[in-house]
């Protein structure tokens, strides 16, 4: 059903031993959307990502992807379904070249033909020309911004149906952050559905269709990017004004 949400999370509870990190969160990502999960340190953003990727089990609740209940589907099978996470920039393989890192992205979702692979690679290099210039450089010697680009590029090589980005602005200079956000918007505009996890409220809310605010394991607010940017409580807590 093309009108059904691509991702539907209902009352998701995740715990670390006896410590509950997510207290029953619900969120929806529709096909083609760019949705942001915004939260401060320790709010549970990474926990949400890991649970959606299948790296952490749920204590309660369910995850439906493309109409199918995947709550108990294993991590590698979720990748095969098209749920692909770009880890934070540090997640690139430091000893592998840019090209080898990109090829690692194809590992879980192999291409039907060489032409299809080449076409995808060209697209990724077009989005990130810097990666094209540095194909033979090892990942570990790239700048922070370049490593972030490589992490996203690698995820794109897996042809995500849902691309999950974990704090792509982390540790980067404002100019580089702006550039990364422009590219994220471009990837979305070209048809990839994106779930973005961020602390950078200003940039994320300006670019997103909708956002959810996560506070100590609970979703406390949601709305369009514009609505949340105008919300006094959000301004006060996340934009440092009011
Ligand atoms: P940050 O932006 O700082 O990465 P976050 O929003 O991603 O924060 P999480 O890493 O998801 O937050 O952590 C949510 C809560 O779960 C925190 O209270 C954290 O201390 C706790 N937590 C995370 N990982 C573990 C773990 N392996 N064992 C126990 N508690 C954990």
Return mean pLDDT, the chain.
92
Instruction: Write out the two tokens for 16.
Output: 């670390």
Q: How far is the CA of 31 from the centre of ligand 1 (A)?
A: 28
Which one-letter DSSP state was computed for residue 158?
T
- The model's pLDDT over 96-144, given as tens digits with 9 standing for 90+, comes to 999 999 998 887 677 888 898 999 999 999 999 999 999 999 999 999 9
Q: How far is the CA of 215 from the centre of ligand 1 (A)?
A: 12
In angstroms, rounded to a whole number, what is the distance separating the alpha carbons of residues 110 and 107? 6
The CA-atom distances, in angstroms, between 79 and each of 11, 55, 70, 183, 190 are: 23, 11, 11, 22, 20
Distance of CA 136 to the CA centre of its chain: 26
CB 25 less than 6 A from any atom of ligand 1: no
Residue 84: pLDDT above 80? Answer: yes
Phi, psi angles (nearest 5°) of residue 37: -110, 110
- The model's pLDDT over 198-229, given as tens digits with 9 standing for 90+, comes to 988 888 999 999 999 999 999 999 999 999 99
Dihedral, CA of residue 107, residue 47, residue 194 and residue 134, to nearest 10 = -50
| pLDDT for residue 241 | 62
Question: Binning pLDDT at 50, 70 and 90, where does residue 3 land?
Answer: confident
| pLDDT for residue 227 | 95
Residue 66: pLDDT above 60? Answer: yes
CB 164 less than 6 A from any atom of ligand 1: no
Question: Binning pLDDT at 50, 70 and 90, where does residue 19 land?
Answer: very high
CB 168 less than 6 A from any atom of ligand 1: no
CB 41 less than 6 A from any atom of ligand 1: yes
């Amino acid at each position: 059903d093309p009108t059904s949400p691509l991702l539907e999370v209902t009352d998701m509870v995740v715990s670390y031993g006896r410590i509950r990190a997510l207290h029953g969160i619900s969120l929806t990502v529709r096909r083609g959307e760019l949705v942001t999960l915004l939260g401060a340190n320790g709010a549970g953003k990474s926990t949400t990502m890991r649970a959606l990727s299948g790296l952490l089990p749920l204590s309660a609740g369910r995850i439906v992807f493309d109409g199918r209940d995947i709550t108990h589907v294993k991590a590698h099978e979720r990748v095969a379904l098209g749920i692909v996470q770009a880890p934070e920039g540090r997640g690139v393989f430091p000893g592998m070249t840019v090209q080898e890192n990109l090829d690692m992205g194809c590992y879980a979702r192999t291409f039907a033909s060489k032409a299809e692979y080449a076409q995808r690679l060209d697209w990724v290099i077009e989005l990130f020309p810097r990666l094209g210039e540095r194909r033979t450089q090892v990942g570990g010697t790239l700048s922070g911004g370049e490593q972030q680009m490589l992490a996203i590029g690698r995820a794109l090589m897996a042809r995500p149906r849902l691309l999950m980005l974990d704090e792509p602005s982390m540790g980067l200079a404002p100019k580089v952050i702006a550039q990364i956000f422009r590219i994220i918007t471009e990837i979305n505009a070209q048809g990839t559905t994106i779930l973005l996890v961020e602390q950078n409220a200003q940039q994320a809310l300006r670019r997103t269709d909708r956002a959810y605010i996560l506070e100590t394991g609970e979703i406390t607010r949601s709305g369009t990017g514009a609505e949340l940017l105008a919300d006094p409580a959000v301004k006060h807590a996340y934009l440092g004004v009011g």
